[in-house]
A and B are shown apart, each in its own frame.
Chain A
């Protein structure tokens, strides 16, 4: 007897993405591809100075441009659009989508044009004339805390937006007992101290932001398409600010061309498009150009840290002090104030540090606001701690791997509560370290490095350990709630439609989630469709950020799938006259365990559920179940990254020779997609270390306003990444998956910088701040004035 064809189990397999066929043929619909009859275009007039009082706005030139429908100044917009809301509990100054009195960063909108096409809109915006009384620009965040050279917001004297906060606290600082930390430093054999800068970056999704707002007066309803990571949150805020109910707003995230945290925010342009569409009764489109993206999409990082690490001579860390000053730019955006608090939270990294004192001050400056950028607060923490561990290793003359190993939280210590209040779910840090050392050939690499040095080459090695907080997160930690939602419907024909609130922007959820449901229900993956990104279809959701789509969204899908399966089993049990507990779902059949001839096809049972001629007792017709999954905790993925780097002695140019990454994201659904996430994360983390930096002049003018000035890594900047994974499941969700989106960005940056410092160790250097600009490294090699062999970075 021929065996029935067996459907392969898909979870854990390298399944090709089902998103790709449309994307490789140019058939995806991104927001700029949306077209509606009668649609008009917006363009913004933006401030070209960093700080100043608006004296006058003359829009007559714009109104004269052919094709212009309307022009609004900030003052006019303020008549019908309130201040921009934020999503954190911290105090916040008034922030308008379009400024009416004072501008506080280059790029801040001061007027908006509505016109027939984008060429006319741009012409008109350029024809608006604005006069300012300039104010001094606040650029240096540490100097800004003295109130010099100016105060941005009158209610925030000395420009202190938040803090100083002690560790483990949110909006309400409480007194901190410093006895333990003082004792740790008193008992220490060795203390290493260093000021470090984790500099400002631009997230730079290749698809710029964009929005189409379409208010239909006849329906009294708004549809808004946006390049967003979280359409449900967008809907909530758009409804609130335009005076509509959430039932009247439908938010759609079409194909989204990358986000990296920057598309969590609800931006002023989105509020303006929605409010003007409602006011004018016209569909309106706005799409950012690249220079606007550099000026007006949030930036990331930008934290100065003063770190002191106290240890015994044997390498045991006794205490850590970390004083943070975060430059958050001109205003609070959605999560701005909360991001640097994550740097405090993660200050223990993978180590059992018995005493930690972290403090944080956030500062307003005349720059673009910061907010979540891939990693969001964790890369900063890991960078500061890992650089400090390297300084300690160097001070003690220990192998950087060894000093780390001595301080690991052990596997039997989980769940582990750190001194900063994080509760780590699970981990095996020594395993990740060992795999990385083996994969890289650590001892061999050291020999190669030493041999290269003997030839006069400047080669260095760097190693970093990281743990991050993912699967964001319990509702206590997010103003929107931290759950995720899914609904799974078995249709009449046995096909499956499922929704997820985890709205993807390149993560491949349509594939991974279909893999999971196909396995769970024993049907072909081709029979499963995943719907997302449309609040008209997906009833509820939070979104994709904080590496949460699998750990939280996947878990919600799994719960909803389990519920529909349980109901379907009841229908099948009635049809088969069997006990529902004896049924197995596989190969598109629902069969009685041990009696494969007693079976019904999945489709037949589905059809019966929608026309149950004899409705089983206690059942309603139909097969559609939903679930909200609320995680009990965050997840804490971890890993070890190793870099080998060479610096050209004559030019100072660094070149990455090897990049080894061992990451533990818990259970993996699709390793192909996971590797892609790690590749991309590594590229951004390496980019920060080597070439990316948002820079401002002393008068607050951005110096990096295009791809000609802001260096985004190209293919030729990287060696082939060498990946491996360990698997330590999380107990926090039923899948055991931890999340992986941010891992590469967090682990890679510190090991690159440590490798550069190692390469320069012959010049007496302990630390070099990022980015590793050739000029900066050349000065270390040749001395500040070009004399050989001098200089401290």
Chain B
């Protein structure tokens, strides 16, 4: 039995009939054809599937699409402002905060949540704030630099 859902994805309203068990990440990847959101595990440990639901980060591999009915979802594809990259995207690029790139969409969105709740974190706070996301390539050092850099850029922009 399928149920209707209405989810706004990156500003675009998507209406579909889905199985109640359909995961939000598969809704995004298969039904909306936005494949930037990744699946790295089945247990919500790795964070590759992180998206924003109504502005707050969530792991879309352990969220059902029906749970996001009526909500607004932002994926990595929706982060840039047209051609202008989001400051976090810029800083991950500038500070070499990625290698294979697979964890990166989730890492950037988790960083987005971190800076939303703590706009000028210390290194230690960044390291703890990203505990829900796994990167196997970078050893995290340049990710920490990237988040710090983005926080600095945001602070600079506010002044």
CA distance A115 to B12 in the complex (A): 31
B39 near A715 with CB under 8 A, answer no
Query: Residue among A16, A506, A673 with the most chain B CB within 10 A?
Result: A506
A289 near B42 with CB under 8 A, answer yes
- Which of B19, B42, B77, B144 is A715 in contact with, Cβ under 8 Å? B144
- Which of A26, A290, A672 is B37 in contact with, Cβ under 8 Å? A26
A676 near B102 with CB under 8 A, answer no
How many A-B contacts if CB must be within 8 Å?
Answer: 180
| Extra inter-chain contacts (7) besides given A24-B98, A716-B130, CB under 8 Å | A24-B108, A25-B80, A117-B30, A206-B134, A255-B102, A677-B99, A715-B127
The answer to the question of A680 belonging to the interface, with a C-beta cut-off of 8 Å to chain B, is yes
3 residue pairs, one from A and one from B, having the closest CB atoms:
A26-B36, A257-B102, A23-B101
B40 near A208 with CB under 8 A, answer yes
Chain B contacts with A in 19-46, Cβ cutoff 8 A: 19, 21-22, 29-30, 33-43, 45-46
CA distance A32 to B61 in the complex (A): 15
Annotate A660-680 by CB proximity to B: 1 below 8 A, 0 otherwise. 000000000000110111011
Contacts A24-B92, A32-B35, A208-B40; is A506 near B134 (CB within 8 Å)?
Answer: no
B34 near A207 with CB under 8 A, answer no
The answer to the question of B128 belonging to the interface, with a C-beta cut-off of 8 Å to chain A, is yes
Residues on A with C-beta less than 8 A from B35 are 26, 29-30, 32-33
The contact size tier of chain A is 35 or more
CA distance A676 to B128 in the complex (A): 21
Residues on B with C-beta less than 8 A from A19 are 101
Residues on A with C-beta less than 8 A from B102 are 30, 205-207, 255, 257-258
- Which of B21, B43, B123 is A708 in contact with, Cβ under 8 Å? B43
Residues on B with C-beta less than 8 A from A190 are none
A-B residue pairs in contact (CB < 8 Å), sample of 19 = A21-B85, A24-B89, A24-B92, A25-B85, A26-B76, A33-B29, A35-B33, A206-B40, A207-B100, A290-B40, A672-B96, A679-B138, A707-B41, A712-B134, A714-B131, A714-B140, A715-B126, A716-B130, A718-B141
CA distance A20 to B123 in the complex (A): 23
Annotate A622-637 by CB proximity to B: 1 below 8 A, 0 otherwise. 0000000000000000
Q: Which residue on B lies nearest to A673, using beta carbons?
A: B96
Annotate A495-515 by CB proximity to B: 1 below 8 A, 0 otherwise. 000000000011110000000
The contact size tier of chain B is 35 or more
B98 near A679 with CB under 8 A, answer no
Q: Which residue on A lies nearest to B19, using beta carbons?
A: A119
A680 near B137 with CB under 8 A, answer yes
Chain A contacts with B in 695-752, Cβ cutoff 8 A: 706-708, 712, 714-716, 718, 720-721, 744
Chain A contacts with B in 253-298, Cβ cutoff 8 A: 255-258, 260, 289-291
Annotate A7-42 by CB proximity to B: 1 below 8 A, 0 otherwise. 000000000110111011111111011010000000
The answer to the question of B136 belonging to the interface, with a C-beta cut-off of 8 Å to chain A, is yes
A258 near B45 with CB under 8 A, answer no
List chain B positions with a Cβ less than 8 A from chain A: 19, 21-22, 29-30, 33-43, 45-46, 48, 75-77, 79-80, 85, 89, 92-94, 96, 98-105, 108, 123, 126-128, 130-131, 133-144
Residues on B with C-beta less than 8 A from A21 are 85, 93
B130 near A715 with CB under 8 A, answer yes
CA distance A119 to B135 in the complex (A): 27
- Which of B85, B103, B127, B142 is A679 in contact with, Cβ under 8 Å? B142
Residues on A with C-beta less than 8 A from B75 are 26
Residues on A with C-beta less than 8 A from B142 are 675-676, 679
B36 near A707 with CB under 8 A, answer no
- Which of B80, B96, B138 is A16 in contact with, Cβ under 8 Å? B96
Query: Residue among A33, A290, A715 with the most chain B CB within 10 A?
Result: A715
- Which of B100, B126, B130 is A256 in contact with, Cβ under 8 Å? B100
Residues on A with C-beta less than 8 A from B42 are 289-291, 706
A258 near B100 with CB under 8 A, answer yes
Residues on B with C-beta less than 8 A from A712 are 46, 134, 136
Residues on B with C-beta less than 8 A from A708 are 43, 45
A20 near B85 with CB under 8 A, answer no
Q: State the majority secondary structure of interface residues on A.
A: loop
B43 near A676 with CB under 8 A, answer no
Q: Which residue on B lies nearest to A30, using beta carbons?
A: B102
CA distance A786 to B48 in the complex (A): 41
List chain A positions with a Cβ less than 8 A from chain B: 16-17, 19-21, 23-30, 32-33, 35, 117, 119, 204-208, 255-258, 260, 289-291, 505-508, 672-673, 675-677, 679-684, 706-708, 712, 714-716, 718, 720-721, 744
Q: Which residue on A lies nearest to B91, using beta carbons?
A: A24
B92 near A206 with CB under 8 A, answer no
Residues on A with C-beta less than 8 A from B144 are 715, 720
CA distance A289 to B46 in the complex (A): 12
CA distance A25 to B34 in the complex (A): 11
B89 near A721 with CB under 8 A, answer no
Residues on A with C-beta less than 8 A from B21 are 119
Q: Which residue on A lies nearest to B77, using beta carbons?
A: A26
Contacts A24-B108, A706-B41; is A206 near B99 (CB within 8 Å)?
Answer: no
A16 near B40 with CB under 8 A, answer no
CA distance A707 to B127 in the complex (A): 18
A206 near B100 with CB under 8 A, answer yes
Q: In the complex, how many angstroms separate the beta carbon of B91 from the nearest chain A beta carbon?
A: 10
CA distance A119 to B64 in the complex (A): 14
CA distance A673 to B22 in the complex (A): 39
CA distance A205 to B46 in the complex (A): 11
Residues on A with C-beta less than 8 A from B99 are 258, 506-508, 676-677, 680
Residues on A with C-beta less than 8 A from B37 are 26
Residues on B with C-beta less than 8 A from A291 are 42
CA distance A23 to B131 in the complex (A): 21
Residues on B with C-beta less than 8 A from A707 are 41, 43, 45-46, 134
Q: In the complex, how many angstroms separate the beta carbon of B42 from the nearest chain A beta carbon?
A: 5
A680 near B136 with CB under 8 A, answer yes
Query: Residue among A257, A508, A673, A744 with the most chain B CB within 10 A?
Result: A257
A24 near B137 with CB under 8 A, answer no
B36 near A27 with CB under 8 A, answer yes
Contacts A258-B137, A508-B99, A721-B141; is A706 near B36 (CB within 8 Å)?
Answer: no
CA distance A363 to B104 in the complex (A): 39
Residues on A with C-beta less than 8 A from B30 are 117
CA distance A265 to B101 in the complex (A): 21
Residues on B with C-beta less than 8 A from A684 are 136
Contacts A206-B40, A258-B102; is A20 near B92 (CB within 8 Å)?
Answer: yes
Q: In the complex, how many angstroms separate the beta carbon of A321 from the nearest chain B beta carbon?
A: 35
A716 near B128 with CB under 8 A, answer yes
CA distance A137 to B130 in the complex (A): 40
